[in-house]
Structures are given as C-alpha cells and as structure tokens.
Structure 1
Amino acid sequence: MKKAVFILSLGLFSLASNAQVTIQDGGSTLTFRKSADFNDAAIAGSKFLNENYQNAKVNKGSQDFLIRYNAYTDIMEYKNGSDVLELIKEKNTHFAFQDGSVYELFTYNLGGTSYERYHQVLVENKNVKISKFQSIKLIPAQKATNSYEKDTQASYKPNREVYFITYNNQTFEFDGKQKTLDKIIPGKADAIKKFYKENKIKENDTDMIKLGNFLATI
C-alpha cells in the first residue's frame, strides 16, 4: 500500500504538466492524465451517456475507481477528489461497472480506416462477442439568417448506436441482418437461417444478446 500512496502523490504533483501518471494498488493499475479544461455550460445536452460516476473495476483488477464514459471524446474519466482525469486508452482496456455494464477497448478496421474505441459488451460466449458503440456529436450553434429565425444553441446529440460482432478475434460492424452474419460466420448458413426465421432478430440490445447466446451453440 505504501507503494500505491507514493505513486499517487507523485501523480498529483505532476498533474498540472499533463504528465501520464500511474496508480498501483494491490492487483489494480490505473494510468491517466489530467483532463483539459473546457467550459461547455453554454452547450445543451450532455456528452455523457450517464453524468454520474460509478464504481468500476479497471483492467479486471480488484480495486474500485470512480469512472464515467465520455461518449463525445470516447474517453473514460476518473474522478479523484475535485480532479477529473482522463484514462490513457491503450493502458485501460476493460471496465466492469457496478451496474453490471462492461466496456472494453476494441481495435478494428472499417473501410480502410483503423479504429480504437470503447464498446459496451452485450454478450460474450466462447469465440463470439457482441458489442455496441455509442457516441455523441456536437451540433454547432447557428446564427439566425433573417428576422424570422432564431439563433440556435450548440448542443450535444447522440449518434446512432452501432453493433459489432467479434468472431475469432476479428471485429466486424453488424447491421443485424442474416446475410451479413452469414459472411461473418461462414459455414453456418442453415443454422443461422433457422434461428432468424424463428426469432425475427432486429437491431436492439435484447435481440443481440439472444443472438450472441445462440452463436455460442453452433
């Protein structure tokens, strides 16, 4: 525990310089930097899926930390006293929150572009994992162009949720359709067709969890 206190004290001393800092406590490690100051009081909406911090176990450790997900920046934030700290992505890859939700850092390629983003894991069985990416965009403020219009306030708005399937350690965007699944998991077309016919799968969390549990059986 003395080691943990020493590292934390050094980190607090270095926060103003935006240095990368590591806390080690028992089997848990947390690596972070201080968040940049940004006043968004004039912006409507929220850049968080949940404004509240929750206890979460990080990187499958045993220690609880107060964490929340910033869906605008795709960053996990750690609250330490009055400081809000950004967790370093590549060193903080797994979060198990007290409400049962699990977030994991996924790396994949879409349309020739590489992404490294946090997804909420909906179901994980054997070699199949289904997750979703939730993000928030900033709509800029606009000045009225004539006397009949009003100025519009800048606002945070959620983007469409996007589902993904990770199969044999490869992650694919998934639109919920049977034909797409046939391409992701070849050689199982008959079983997949039967399942879709019986269950009428749609793009929602409940159906994606049901699908993930089915895929573990084939």
Structure 2
Amino acid sequence: MKKVLLILFGFTISVVEAQAGSENVSYSTENIFMRANRPTTKEYVIDGSPYTTGDKFNKVIIKGFSKDVQDLRYNAYEDEMEFKKGEELFYANKADNVKIQFPELNKTYESLTYTYDGKTKSGYLVLLLDNPKFSLYKREKMELLKGEKSPNAYSKDANDYYAKEKDIYLISRDKKFSKFPKNTSEAAELFSIDKKELESFVKSNKINLNREPDMTKLVEFINK
C-alpha cells in the first residue's frame, strides 16, 4: 500500500490516526493539517538534475512553524518541495503565502497562487525583495527535453535530459503580478515614476535591467 505521510509544520505534534496492519499515518498540528504526496517515479534514465537548490536536502526555516521541519529541496521541473522519509520521496503540500527560507543557500521561496500572463498559477517563486509597495520575485523552471536518436546502430540514443529555462522576473503589487520591465519606458509606466528621474538613476548607477542585483537595486529605489 502506498505510504501517505504528513509533513510536520507545527508546534506540538500528535498522532491522530494509525491503522493496525497499515502504513497510513496522519498527524495533526493544532490548526495545521498538511498532506504530502509521493512524486511520480521515472522508470527511465534522465540526464541532469531537476533541482535548482542542488540534489542535497537542506535545512529550512518557516516563520511560525516548528524548528524540526523536514529538510527540503526544490524540484523546479515538478514545481514541488520534496522531503525524504527513509528511502522514499514525498511532496509537501503547497499552502498560500508560506515562505520557506534556505539559510545555507541564502534563498527564500514563497508558495503563491498568482495570475501571470493571463493564467492563474499555484507554485513556488523565489522571493528577492519583499516590500508593501513593490515586491520582486523570480520564477525558476526546469524543462524535460528529448534526447537525440543515434544516427547509426553502433551508438546509443541520448537520454532525455533536464534543461534550465530562462528565469522570469516578476513584480508584485497588491497581489497583481507583472513581468519585470525590459527598458526605462516600461519601468516608468509600471512603477508610475517620472521617466527622466528614472533614467537619471539608471545612468548614474549603471543599472542593467537584465541583471538580478540591478533589478533589486532599481525596485529598492522605486520603493523609497
């Protein structure tokens, strides 16, 4: 029987259900009740890795929750947080607005339901800048590409492989998401700021709108 495990995100953990002769176990943590689902097992070899945080499971900090939460890693192909129990992998449930901090990686993911490009999505975004006015996020994504067929019978076909998609940077205001502007004209319109003032800041600080540190610096300037 497939195991079902609940991720322990609470202050006081108590077993509320255990069936004799069964591997099903449920846990309750005050008002928090979270179920983890096992990821689909791939039966064929895939080259590369779907993890943007590395294959290692890392310690995490989740504000307001237990310090004993399982070590996690982010699967950017499945858009899931994974943890390990014994030799088996499980997914953690997505709960809106939960921030998962990876101290060793200096990285924070936020679980969000958001609308972007006309579609409503539910998943994890890297939180780069958190501010009541404008926040900056990054979407990481891995795609699975088909390996090339061998041109002859003397060599093997190449395996399918994971490849990193280009990161997408998003601006959030009042829970509305927009793609980070490509130029100062778009930025002035998006941030409702005088274009000349913005151009002066960009020029004097040598801001490159395609570089992540400069994106953060620009949004910090807008938020002042």
> Under a length normalisation based on structure 2, what TM-score does the superposition of the two structures give?
0.78
| Pair 1:147–1:85, CA change in 2 (3 A) | closer
2:11, 2:94 → 1: CA distance? Answer: 26
Classify the secondary structure of the residue corresponding to 2:209: coil
Q: Say if 1:34 and 1:86, in contact at 8 Å, map to a contact too.
A: yes
Structure 2 residue aligned with 1:39: 42
Cα distance in 1 for partners of 2:214, 2:43 equals 36
Alignment match, 1:6: 15
SS in 1 for 2:198: helix
* Superposed CA RMSD: 3.1
1:194 aligns with 2:197: no
SS of residue paired to 1:125? coil
The 3 A distance-change label for structure 1 pair 116 and 181 is farther
1:167/1:185 contact within 8 Å kept: no
Verify: 1:105 aligned to 2:111, yes or no.
Answer: yes
| 1:161-176 aligned within 5 A | 161-176=167-182
Q: Which runs of 5+ in 2 are unaligned?
A: 1-9
1:204, distance to aligned residue in structure 2 (A): 2.3
Q: What's the CA shift for 1:63?
A: 1.9
Q: Normalising to structure 1: TM-score of the pair?
A: 0.80
CA positional deviation for 1:67: 0.9
Give the alignment of 1:1-218 within 5 angstroms.
4-7=13-16, 13-14=23-24, 24=29, 29=32, 31-39=34-42, 42-49=45-52, 50-58=54-62, 60-65=64-69, 66-90=71-95, 93-99=98-104, 100-145=106-151, 151-199=157-205, 200-217=207-224
**SS of 1:132's equivalent?**
strand
Deviation of 1:2 (Å)? 10
Percent of matched pairs sharing the same residue: 22
Name the aligned partner's letter for residue 61 of structure 1.
F
Q: Give the direction of change, closer, same or farther, for the CA distance of 1:90–1:52 in structure 2 (3 Å limit).
A: same
The 1:83–1:24 alpha-carbon spacing in structure 2 relative to 1, beyond 3 Å, is farther
Q: 1:91 to 1:214 in 2, by over 3 A?
A: closer
- Quote the Cα distance in structure 2 between the aligned partners of 1:180 and 1:30: 43
Q: Rate the CA distance shift 1:206–1:4 in 2: closer, same or farther, 3 A.
A: same
Cα 1:7/1:93, change in 2 over 3 Å:
farther
Gaps of at least 5 residues in structure 1 are 16-20
How far apart are 1:174 and its partner, in Å?
A: 1.1
Higher fraction of helix:
1
Following TM superposition, the consecutive aligned residue runs of length 4 or more in structure 1 with deviations greater than 4 angstroms are: 7-10, 145-150
**Distance change >3 Å, CA 154–CA 178, structure 1 → 2:** same
- Structure richer in strand, relative to its length: 1
User: The residue matched to 1:119 in structure 2 has which SS?
Assistant: strand
The 1:207/1:73 distance shift into structure 2, 3 A limit, reads same
Measured against aligned partners, the alpha-carbon deviations of 1:145-180 in whole angstroms (never above 9, x if no partner) come to 556986222101100011111123321111442222
Deviation at 1:192, TM superposition (A): 2.0
Structure 1 residue 208, shift from structure 2 partner: 1.9
Q: CA deviation at 1:215?
A: 1.9
User: Contact 2:191/2:222 (CA < 8 Å) preserved in 1?
Assistant: no
Shift of the 187–216 alpha-carbon distance from structure 1 to 2, 3 Å rule, reads closer
Conservation of the 8 A alpha-carbon contact between 1:58 and 1:92: no
